[in-house]
Structure 1
Amino acid sequence: MDDGTSRTYRLLPWPNRDGNPCYLSSDGNGLIDTLADEMEEMQLALGAEILGHAGELLAAEGVGEQELRFLAERLGESLRDALRVAESRGGRLRE
């Protein structure tokens, strides 16, 4: 049945329980879409904040291995999130 709406699959900014990509079939105007938009904004803002802390930490003297390892883990998580947001938004631009 064609109700006149255009439904697409959106990559969500969080993985499923198994750590795999999670998609939403939607017209782009639902509650989950709004939640995903807010989550993407939070992920990007947190990534920018972590990047700022990285500059400060790397400029400081006497930084230990544990601090650098923690920083690298957070930067990796932030990069993964940013790439997922870019993939999701890029997919929606092509539609």
Structure 2
Amino acid sequence: MTDRDEEQSAAPLRLLPWTSPEGKPCYLDTDDPQSLLSRLADDVEEAQLTSARDVLLGSEAVLADVVAGERAVRFALTRTTEPLRETLRIAHSRGDRIQS
């Protein structure tokens, strides 16, 4: 095991809440949860979770509206999939950090 391998086992890579321009996952290699990029990732995650809550409330309102048409329901469902994907990414990232 190299020094780098020992460091990685001590501080696992953090899955960041954004992807590369090619759509590939981005990871942060640091053991400092207060680093600039760690704090930025925390802020982005918080914004994504807030957006998810807002979209959920809107989707629930559409579903509660008995006269909402197919177009409104499809729009609400489409909008709901975006923050759901982000929320799952956040859960995966946080789960990886908890297990370490």
More helix, by proportion: 2
Instruction: Indicate the TM-score class for this superposition, using the shorter chain for normalisation.
Output: 0.7 to 0.9
Question: Equivalents in 2 of 1:43, 1:36: separation in Å?
Answer: 10
Q: CA RMSD in A?
A: 1.9
Provide the secondary structure at the position in 1 that maps to 2:17: coil
Partner of residue 62, structure 2: 57
Question: Equivalents in 2 of 1:19, 1:64: separation in Å?
Answer: 33
Of the three residues 69, 90, 94, the one matched with 1:89 is: 94
Q: How do residues 21-32 of structure 1 correspond to structure 2 at under 5 angstroms?
A: 21-27=25-31, 28-32=33-37
TM-superposition CA deviations, 1:9-62 (whole Å, max 9, x none): 100011111112111111222101001001111111111111111111111133
TM-score in terms of structure 1 length: 0.85
TM-score in terms of structure 2 length: 0.81
- Number of residue equivalences: 93
The runs of 5 or more residues in structure 2 that have no matched partner are none
Partner of residue 15, structure 2: 11
The runs of 5 or more residues in structure 1 that have no matched partner are none
